[in-house]
Amino acid sequence: MAQTQVGGNRKKAGNLLSFLILIAVFIAFMFPFVMVVINSLKQKRDIIKSPFSWLFTIKGLSFDNFVKAFTQMDFLNAFMNSLIVTVSSTVLVTVLASMLAYYIVRHKNKLSQVMFALMVASMIIPFQAIMIPLVSIYGGTLNILNHRLTLIFMHTGFSMAMSVFMFHGFINGNIPIALEEAAYIDGCTHVQTYFGIVFPLLKPIISTMVILNALAFWNDFLLPSLVLTDKKLLTLPLSTYSFYGTYSADYGTIMAGLLLCVIPILVLYVVLQKQIINGVVAGAVK
């Protein structure tokens, strides 16, 4: 009985320690976001004077920063640009990567093996290593920069390797070939079998890749800054750069603009969080 009690107390102490560690990690991750929210409601002088002070310790709390940010960054136009680029790129990556991964899994020949190996190897190449030649070719030679389609094409290409890798693992471990054989017996073509049988079964991994790719496309600053220069085509991350001056910056407006950029993708994550977790767990187990 004593040993059981000691073991039980030790387990409770371990659980309590784990809980305290989780709380500490949660606070460490959430503190910067909370401070952005708080400082977005302050005036500039209060941010400079006491950036870590809480709302109840200052005066002049208002939502003027959000109104100014909404107007100065041309939020609706920038939002539509980000939405068009993000949705188009995400749809293209999802459809094309899933189809290519399906081909590689079901056709294990030398061509597919070489293609898959090259795509996996390309994942280790940093974007910074190719961005200057990329801009030189697309801008100087082809002269097709400053177009949404160019940015969509680049987003799609740079995201294909990781997406194919994720879809490949899921299809290989979760989609039985017997379903496809039954569809072929019933007279379905390859296209009908894929979109009617296989693609609906990819819902967990599709949800995972949609949020990961959409998050990357929505928040990307470097690639759009190299491709887009026309103010009418700027995405939300680029539009927030207008708050930075040569010698100073309006920190309250910057933080309000950042929150306006984060809210849409945060809503998407909340809606799809169950499917995201299911997709990640399924891929890890298989």
pLDDT tens column, 47-98 = 777 777 776 556 666 788 888 888 888 888 989 999 999 999 999 999 999 9
- Provide the whole-model pTM: 0.80
What mean pLDDT value characterizes the chain? 83
Domain segments of the chain as ranges: 2-57, 64-285
The b/e string for 72-103 (b: 16+ C-beta within 10 A; e otherwise) is: bbbbeebbebbeebbebbbebbbebbbbbbbb
Q: Which CATH number fits domain 64-285: 2.60.120.10, 1.10.3720.10, 1.20.1440.230, 1.10.287.610?
A: 1.10.3720.10
- Read off the pLDDT of residues 215-234 as tens digits, 9 standing for 90 and up: 899 988 888 988 888 888 89
d(CA 64, CA 79): 20
- Read off the pLDDT of residues 7-39 as tens digits, 9 standing for 90 and up: 567 888 888 899 999 999 999 988 888 888 888
